[in-house]
Amino acid sequence: MLLKRELKLKGVSQEFIDEYFAKTDLDEAELALQALSSKQRQLDRTEDKKRFKVAVDYLMRRGFSYDTAKKAFEQFMQMR
């Protein structure tokens, strides 16, 4: 979502953006999981009650939907 917005701001036509993303298979859950992995140290230091909120807020600021962020957090916690 964030990438689409940035491309639009750079002057790329909406038609081209839609066409590209229709052809390209992006695994948002995997991208979100990678983003969380880069924040693992910070999340480990965060108390359990706040960890979910911190992780989901971080991912949503980077353009992921709430559902994708929630699923990525659940997968991240299972991997630990």
Where do the domains of the chain lie?
2-79
Q: Which residues in the chain come in under a pLDDT of 50? A: none
Note the pLDDT of residue 26: 80
Tell me the pTM. Answer: 0.75
**Residue 42 near residue 61, CB atoms below 8 Å:** no
In this structure, is the dihedral angle defined by the CA atoms of residues 50, 57, 67 and 75, taken in order, positive or negative? negative
Note the pLDDT of residue 55: 96
Note the pLDDT of residue 74: 95
Note the pLDDT of residue 41: 93
Note the pLDDT of residue 21: 84
